[in-house]
């Protein structure tokens, strides 16, 4: 059920879950993703992926996964926060 640009692709898109909203495509800072003719996301430029995970975090459908994560964060480290305090 998982499709990707290549077997080594750092980003996977589950086509069955993707509803083609285009958020991941627009939010990717490196334009790794593109829309297929049906609007669903496909991995077009896997080599450009910096594994920032924005696509995965912003996907409303749980359809995008960054499979090769960056090195593990140190224990207790939070996600980046700018909470204005």
Partner 1 sequence: MAKSIDEYLRTQFMPHIWCPGCGHGIVLNALLRAVARLDLPKDQVCVVSGIGCASRAPGYLDFNTLHTTHGRAIAFATGIKLANPDLHVIVVTGDGDGAAIGGNHLIHAARRNMGVTTVMFNNSIYGMTNGQYSPLTPSGMFAATAPYGNVERNFDMCELVRASGANYVARATVAQARQLSTYIERAIENPGFAFVEAVGSCPTYFGRRNKLGSSLQMLETLKKNSVTAAAAAKLDPAELRGKIIIGEFYRGDAPGYIELYDGVIERAKEAAGK
80 binds partner 1 (CB under 8 A): yes
CB of 6 to partner 1, least distance (A): 21
In sequence order, which ranges of 28-81 are alpha helices (DSSP H)?
Answer: 54-58
In whole angstroms, give the CA distance from residue 79 to residue 27.
18
Partners of 13 in the beta sheet? 3, 64
CB of 56 to partner 1, least distance (A): 8
55 binds partner 1 (CB under 8 A): no
Q: How far are the Cα atoms of 8, 39, 75 from residue 58, in angstroms, in the given order?
A: 22, 17, 24
Listed ranges 3-11, 29-37, 41-49, 51-59: which one lies at the site for partner 1 (CB under 8 A): 51-59
Of 45 and 61, CB closest to partner 1: 61
In whole angstroms, give the CA distance from residue 9 to residue 4.
6
Residues near partner 1, by CB under 8 A: 14, 16-23, 26, 56-63, 65, 69, 72-73, 78-85
């Amino acid at each position: 059920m998982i499709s990707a640009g290549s077997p080594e692709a750092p980003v996977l898109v589950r086509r069955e879950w993707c509803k083609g909203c285009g958020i991941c495509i627009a939010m990717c800072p490196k334009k790794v993703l593109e829309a297929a003719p049906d609007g669903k996301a496909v991995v077009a430029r896997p080599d450009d992926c910096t594994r920032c995970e924005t696509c995965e975090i912003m996907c409303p459908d749980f359809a995008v996964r960054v499979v090769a994560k960056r090195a593990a964060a140190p224990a207790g480290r939070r996600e980046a926060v700018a909470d204005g305090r």
